[in-house]
C-alpha cells in the first residue's frame, strides 16, 4: 500500500480533475500540490482520507484512487475523455498503435471456415506459405464449420511465441500448417490497382490515423503512381480518426497549400495548420469514400480535400465529431486522455463536436455532406461505393 503522503498527492489530482480541470493540477509538479486548496478540495480530500483510515475492511489505496479518477473523468459526460489506470495502459496503446498477437492475416467468416482476404507481409502466415484466398477450415483438432467469427478468430489468435496448427482448404488440396504466433503490427494502409473501362485507378484503403500512418500512405500513393494509376480512390469508411498531426500529413499529400484545419481550446491558443508543402499527388483526380463511421481526423482530411476542390466525396454523411483529445502519461504509469479543444474546417465550420451542452454530451453533429450520396448494400458491403468511385473517376479522366 502507498504511504499517506503519496496517497494525498494522488488525491489532489482527483480533486483537480473533479473541480474544473484547471491547469494548476498539471505536472510541474502538480503546481506545488494545489496550495492553497479550496474549501471543496479540502472536503473531498478529507472524505477520501477518512475512508482510507476508518473503513472496516482494509482499503486498497491504488484501486480507490483509480476508481475515483475514472469517475471524475466520467463526470465530464464526454464520451471521448478517459482515464486509463496503469494496468490498462496497453488498452490505450492498442488504440494509438494497434498491435495483436496472431499469425498475421485478415479473415472473413464463411459457412465452412474463415476466408483469408489478406496476408500481412513479413508476418508468420506469409513466411509459412499461407495465401490470400485460402480457407481456414480447422484449428488444432476443431473444425470451424458453423463456428462463430469471434470464436474462430479467438482460436487462431494467441500469445506471441505459442504455436497453432491450422488446416487450410486450397482448391482441391487440404494443407496443414503449424505456425508460431507473433506480435503483429496491424497495417493501417493498403493499396491495389483497379482497372475500369480501360482506366487504371489506384485504390487506397486507410483505416486509422496512428503514429507514422501518413508516411505509410505516402508510400502506397507512390506505389500506385509508379504502377501508372490515372486516378485515386481514398477509402476512409469506418475510419475512426486518430492523431491530428497525421491528418495534416495525409491531406498534405494531395493539397499543395492552404489551411487544412484550425484548432481552438479553452486553455490553448487558436492554431491554424497549413498544408506542409510536400505534396506528391497535387493534381491527379481523386475521390474519397466516406460513411457514418468516418470520424475525427478522417473528417479533417475529407473536409480539407473537399473544400479545397481537390476531391469529390462519395458515400453518406460522416460521423460529425469536431473535438480532439490529448493524452498525458502520469508519473505512476496511468494515462489521462481528455478532450482539449475543437477543430474547424478550412471554411471555418465545426463538424459537430460541441462537447457537453447543458449537462448532456453532444456526440454527433451534421458531419460532412458527400458530393455523391451512396448507401452500401448490407448484403455486399463496400462494393457499391467503390463502383461509384470508379465511375466518377472515369468521368473525370474522360473530360
Residue with more model confidence, 98 or 50: 50
pTM for the model: 0.70
If one counts every other C-beta atom within 10 angstroms of the C-beta of residue 14, the result is: 24
If one counts every other C-beta atom within 10 angstroms of the C-beta of residue 187, the result is: 19
32-46, 59-73, 202-216, 380-394 — most confident range: 202-216
- 230-273 pLDDT tens trace: 999 999 998 889 889 999 999 999 999 999 999 998 888 899 99
Rounded Cα distance, 117 and 189, in Å = 15
**What mean pLDDT value characterizes the chain?**
83
Phi, psi of 300, rounded to the nearest 5 degrees: -60, -50
Q: Is the pLDDT of residue 84 over 80?
A: yes
pLDDT score recorded for residue 22? 39
Mean pLDDT on 53-70? 85
Rounded Cα distance, 313 and 85, in Å = 40
Mean pLDDT on 116-120? 83
List, in order of start, the domains of the chain with CATH numbers: 4-75 (no CATH), 99-185 (2.30.42.10), 189-325+338-397 (3.90.226.10)
Pairing status of strand 231-235 against strand 286-290 = parallel
Q: Is the pLDDT of residue 397 over 80?
A: yes
pLDDT score recorded for residue 361? 44
Q: Angle, nearest 10°, between helix axes 213-226 and 244-251?
A: 20
If one counts every other C-beta atom within 10 angstroms of the C-beta of residue 50, the result is: 10
Rounded Cα distance, 296 and 121, in Å = 29
Amino acid at each position: 500500500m502507498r504511504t499517506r503522503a503519496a496517497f494525498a498527492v494522488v488525491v489532489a489530482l482527483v480533486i483537480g480533475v473533479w473541480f474544473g480541470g484547471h491547469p494548476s493540477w498539471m505536472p510541474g509538479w502538480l503546481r506545488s500540490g494545489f496550495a492553497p486548496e479550496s474549501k471543496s478540495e479540502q472536503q473531498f480530500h478529507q472524505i477520501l482520507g477518512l475512508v482510507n483510515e476508518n473503513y472496516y475492511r482494509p482499503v486498497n489505496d491504488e484501486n480507490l484512487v483509480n476508481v475515483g479518477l475514472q469517475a471524475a473523468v466520467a463526470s465530464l459526460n464526454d464520451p471521448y475523455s478517459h482515464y486509463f489506470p496503469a494496468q490498462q495502459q496497453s488498452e490505450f496503446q492498442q488504440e494509438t498503435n494497434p498491435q495483436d498477437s496472431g499469425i498475421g492475416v485478415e479473415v472473413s467468416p464463411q459457412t465452412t471456415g474463415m476466408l483469408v482476404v489478406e496476408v500481412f507481409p513479413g508476418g508468420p502466415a506469409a513466411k509459412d506459405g499461407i495465401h490470400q484466398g485460402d480457407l481456414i477450415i480447422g484449428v488444432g483438432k476443431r473444425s470451424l464449420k458453423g463456428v462463430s467469427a469471434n470464436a474462430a478468430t479467438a482460436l487462431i489468435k494467441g500469445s506471441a511465441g505459442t504455436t497453432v496448427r491450422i488446416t487450410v482448404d486450397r482448391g482441391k488440396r487440404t494443407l496443414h500448417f503449424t505456425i508460431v504466433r507473433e506480435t503483429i503490427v496491424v497495417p493501417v494502409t493498403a493499396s491495389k490497382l483497379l482497372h475500369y473501362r480501360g482506366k487504371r485507378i489506384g485504390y487506397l484503403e486507410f483505416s486509422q490515423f496512428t503514429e507514422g500512418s501518413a508516411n505509410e500512405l505516402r508510400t502506397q500513393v507512390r506505389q500506385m503512381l509508379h504502377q501508372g494509376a490515372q486516378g485515386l480512390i481514398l477509402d476512409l469508411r469506418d475510419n475512426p480518426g486518430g492523431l491530428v498531426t497525421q491528418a495534416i500529413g495525409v491531406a498534405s499529400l494531395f493539397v499543395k497549400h492552404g489551411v487544412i484545419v484550425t484548432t481552438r481550446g479553452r486553455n490553448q491558443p487558436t492554431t491554424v495548420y497549413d498544408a506542409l508543402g510536400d505534396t506528391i499527388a497535387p493534381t491527379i483526380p481523386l475521390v474519397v469514400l466516406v460513411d457514418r463511421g468516418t470520424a475525427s481526423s478522417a473528417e479533417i482530411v475529407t473536409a480539407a480535400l473537399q473544400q479545397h476542390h481537390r476531391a469529390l466525396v462519395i458515400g453518406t454523411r460522416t460521423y460529425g465529431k469536431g473535438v480532439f483529445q490529448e493524452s498525458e502519461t502520469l508519473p505512476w504509469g496511468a494515462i489521462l486522455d481528455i478532450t482539449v479543444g475543437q477543430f474547424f474546417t478550412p471554411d471555418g465550420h465545426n463538424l459537430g463536436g460541441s462537447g457537453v451542452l447543458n449537462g448532456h454530451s453532444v456526440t454527433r453533429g451534421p458531419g460532412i455532406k458527400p458530393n455523391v450520396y451512396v448507401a452500401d448494400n448490407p448484403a455486399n458491403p463496400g462494393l457499391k461505393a467503390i463502383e461509384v468511385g470508379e465511375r466518377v473517376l472515369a468521368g473525370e479522366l474522360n473530360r
